[in-house]
Amino acid sequence: MPDSKQVKHPVVGIIMGSDSDLEIMEAAAAILKTFEVAFELTIVSAHRTPKRMVEYALTAKQRGLKVIIAGAGGAAHLPGMIASLTTLPVIGVPIKSSNSLDGWDSILSILQMPNGVPVATVALNAAKNAGILAAQILGISDDKLSEKLSDFKKDMEKTVLDKAEKIRLDQL
Ligand code: RP5
């Protein structure tokens, strides 16, 4: 557990309900790679592999994970169920999947958790933000990572300012 895409000492667990979610969830893996955060990635389905889901959640902390990113679509119960079984922070990624009506079903299934069992829900298909948020959580106790996040923000700012400058010049 898990049995795919394993690295040494992962601190973030990226899980998803189906391989059809991978196209979206890859963005979480990509941004964690740029921050050099070790992660594992696998499929855990709340409905099709409920026993695997329980085992994943119950062993996550002892295996060294610090944050779990869980993506699912439609009747998206995976993030909430994982959150019900662990004290690790769980970030939910609602996915507009093949069985999703319009994406709202996925969003509300993940967002509307009962008091006591929070899931930090990002925007529809926003796996990149889930990866950034996971890094920010880890950055609280990791100065090097926190610096990388700070540089990331500075780069974003520069990109936008460059675009703003370009628009002004183009409009002259
Ligand atoms: C959910 O059902 C999965 O997370 C996925 O988003 C959706 C569709 O799964 P597949 O039928 O494509 O395997 O549980």
Mind listing the pLDDT tens digit for each residue in 122-146?
999 999 999 999 999 999 999 999 9
Q: What is the pTM of this model?
A: 0.94
Taking the centre of ligand 1 as the mean of its atom positions, its distance from the CA of residue 57, in whole angstroms, is: 19
Q: Is 75 exposed, middle or buried (0-12, 13-18, 19+ CB in 10 A)?
A: middle
Mean pLDDT of 11-28: 98
| pLDDT at 121 exceeding the cut of 80 | yes
- Specify the pLDDT at position 3: 58
- Specify the pLDDT at position 34: 98
| pLDDT at 1 exceeding the cut of 70 | no
| pLDDT at 61 exceeding the cut of 80 | yes
- Paired residues of 91 in beta bridges: 69, 120
- Specify the pLDDT at position 8: 78
| pLDDT at 100 exceeding the cut of 60 | yes
Q: Is 126 exposed, middle or buried (0-12, 13-18, 19+ CB in 10 A)?
A: buried
| pLDDT at 51 exceeding the cut of 70 | yes
Residue 9: strand, helix, or coil: coil
Taking the centre of ligand 1 as the mean of its atom positions, its distance from the CA of residue 151, in whole angstroms, is: 36
Taking the centre of ligand 1 as the mean of its atom positions, its distance from the CA of residue 99, in whole angstroms, is: 7
* pLDDT, tens digit (0-9, with 9 covering 90-100), for 35-50: 999 999 999 999 999 9
Ligand 1: does its nearest atom lie under 6 Å from the Cβ of 23?
no
- Paired residues of 94 in beta bridges: 72
Token pair, residue 162, equals 């460059």
**Residue closest by Cα to atom 14 of ligand 1:** 17
